[in-house]
Amino acid sequence: MRRQLYVRRVTVAAVVAALSSTGLAAGLATAPPAAAAVAPQTVAPRIVAPATVVGAINRSSRSAVLAAYRNRYVAPARIANAWTGSVSGCVAGTNSSAYTRATLTAINWARGQAGIPPVVGLNSTYTAQAQRAALMMQAQGALSHAPSTSWRCWSSAGAAAAGRSNLSLGVAGARAIGMYLVEPGSGNTAAGHRRWLLYPRLGRIGIGNTGTANAVYVLGARASRIPTGTPAYYAWPTSGYFPRAAEPRGRWSLSSSRGYSFSRATVRVVGPSGAVVRVVRYAPRTGFGDNTLVWQLASVPSQRARVDQTYRVTVSGIRTPSGATTRYSYAVTLIS
């Protein structure tokens, strides 16, 4: 697999542009293949390499948003990959605690930017299984949530995790988190990877990283209720100030933590010039975390602009569980 990892500026956009052979498995739905089922954890899980920087980010502060992006995503993305395994021997190995911690910190940067409480730590069982799943993806040079027993380095634990994980090939660690948030390609219009990473009720997860593959075990234990402080709506890119380098190539989304339906919703975006931006609305798909509406901007914001640019979004026709219809409006200001 051809890789171009030597980028001067470690940003979400740079990673996407540099890794032309990187892939993401199509978004993982709530119900994985039966063969990938795994028994729930029955003992208290051990926390492995918890994130060191967590918490909500003040999106009304330009400096706070930029500082959080630098410290919680850019810096973690520069941590060296220290995989100890081997494809030739089908050895899953491990990665350094610093690299694992950096991956989790990147996830919690995104959650903090969205106003979602952080993932508090990792489940050691899920992490071990995710490591085997990542090994399989790198060994096979392909991605699947239901890999067959003919795959190189196949294992029952790895196959189980593949059915319950976000999967990336061509990039690992914090950079893989950036890829999940961008959701590139025609197979990711449901933004399933992003939705699982931002899901407010996401419990302890598992993280597996090899040299060129990543697996984030997301279909494990969930919180029994919505965490305190979770907003009714959360978007990506978020309202308020948002790092331009993390803008997901025009693939925007709005989620509801309250079970609101977007099945009949419409979206209107007004760009920095005051003109309406044409959008492609994707049919809402359930089963990936919270209900979410995803759309693609026909005109993708420039990564090279050096002035702040504000986009105003209105989503209408949202239906509440009681059947009432409402709308939600917010502004995104891209900054460098």
Exposure class string for 54-92: b at 16+ Cβ within 10 A, else e: bebbebeeeeebbebbeebbbbbbebebbbebebeebeb
For residue 152, the one-letter residue type is R
pTM above 0.95, yes or no: no
How far is residue 269 CA from its own chain's centroid? Answer: 23
Is the peptide bond between 237 and the residue preceding it cis, with omega within 30 degrees of 0? yes
CA distance 158 to 176: 18
pLDDT over 90 for what percent of the chain? 80
CA distance 90 to 147: 15
The one-digit pLDDT tens for each residue of the chain (336 residues) are 333 222 223 344 444 443 334 578 876 765 333 222 222 222 233 333 434 466 889 999 999 999 999 999 999 999 999 999 999 999 999 999 999 999 999 999 999 999 999 998 999 999 999 999 999 999 999 999 999 999 999 999 999 999 999 999 999 999 999 999 999 999 999 999 999 999 999 999 999 999 999 999 999 989 989 999 999 999 999 999 999 999 999 999 999 999 999 999 999 999 999 999 999 999 999 889 999 999 999 999 999 999 999 999 999 999 999 999 999 999 999 999
Q: Answer whether 255's CB lies under 8 Å from 233's CB.
A: yes
Residue with tokens 């308020």: 240
Rg (the chain; Cα; Å): 19
